[in-house]
Amino acid sequence: MKNKLTLVKVGGQIVEEPETLKQLLNDFSNLEGHKVLVHGGGRAATRIAGQLGIESKMVNGRRVTDADMLQVVTMVYGGLVNKQIVAGLQALNVNALGLTGADMNYMRSEKRPVKDVDYGFVGDVKEVNADILASLINEGVVPVLAPLTHDKQGNLLNTNADTIAGEAAKALAQYFDVTLMFCFEKKGVLRNPDDEDSMIPEITKPAFDAFVADGTIQGGMIPKLENAFEAIAAGVKEVIISKADEIGKGTGTVVK
């Protein structure tokens, strides 16, 4: 039998406010068993870029990463956000280790080909070397993954944190019974986005397809759920979509 591992992905907003970050790190530190944290940091990147006179360009909700912006996200995701989380977890006796895909070459990507949009220095994941992560996790280390990969040719690449979480979860499913938890600002997948009580407790692929067809599920939730079903298909045991302040409470939408 494989050991249980919980992989939690939290967005930028939560890790950038001292109060919500503190709560998150507390809740995360109380999770039992092996665990991994994946974080965003987009708001901090936009803020620091602005202070440096670099404009943030978004297309379809994704950041366009030119050479200057790549330096900003390398600093902010790999340094500022990642290391503050690591230090915060160490204070709670969680043996955190901050990683980008370049570190131990754990996640290799390729620069996204230019089609309709040139996203710049953005990486599509090609290879996850989960063995080294699994061996560290088995020694009690808790990886903290920044949304950065590399192409193994010397270039760091910006990679969406949901993608990092999904790819890491799939690769770690060889070694562990993985629960992947996507945390965002709502309690879970809602039938009515304005009503937190309309949360769908459990969702299957046929139900998802029907909800998309009738317009109940739309926008950014669609790729998030597609990621979730892909993870399940690739061996991840369970995907939960929930609110960051409900980590460990067993709430949220369970994707099956």
Binding residues for a copy of itself (CB under 8 A): 48, 51-53, 71, 74-80, 82-84, 86-88, 90-91, 95-100, 102-105, 141, 148, 150, 152-156
Residue 187 CB, nearest approach to a copy of itself (Å): 29
Distance, CA of 243 to CA of 256 (rounded, Å):
18
Which CB atom, from 60 or from 93, has the smaller least distance to a copy of itself? Answer: 93
Which residue in 249, 194, 247 sits closest to 10, CA to CA? 247
Residue 6 CB, nearest approach to a copy of itself (Å): 20
Distance, CA of 166 to CA of 160 (rounded, Å):
10
**Contact of 98 with 37, CB cutoff 8 Å:** no
Give Dmax (Cα) for the chain: 53
**Contact of 5 with 176, CB cutoff 8 Å:** yes
Distance, CA of 174 to CA of 127 (rounded, Å):
14
Which CB atom, from 12 or from 98, has the smaller least distance to a copy of itself? Answer: 98
Residue that has been written with the tokens 């920044």 in this structure: 146
Which CB atom, from 58 or from 91, has the smaller least distance to a copy of itself? Answer: 91
Which CB atom, from 80 or from 234, has the smaller least distance to a copy of itself? Answer: 80
Residue 88 CB, nearest approach to a copy of itself (Å): 5
Residue 195 CB, nearest approach to a copy of itself (Å): 37
Residue 97 CB, nearest approach to a copy of itself (Å): 5
DSSP assignment of 63-98 = EEB-HHHHHHHHHIIIIIIHHHHHHHHHHTT--EEE
**Which residue type is seen at 32?**
E
Residue 71 CB, nearest approach to a copy of itself (Å): 6
Which CB atom, from 29 or from 251, has the smaller least distance to a copy of itself? Answer: 29
Residue 84 CB, nearest approach to a copy of itself (Å): 7
Token pair, residue 30, equals 């109380």
Q: Taking the mean position of all CA atoms in its chain, how far away is CA 154?
A: 23
Which CB atom, from 159 or from 253, has the smaller least distance to a copy of itself? Answer: 159
Which CB atom, from 84 or from 242, has the smaller least distance to a copy of itself? Answer: 84
Residues 6+ apart with CB under 8 A from 250: none
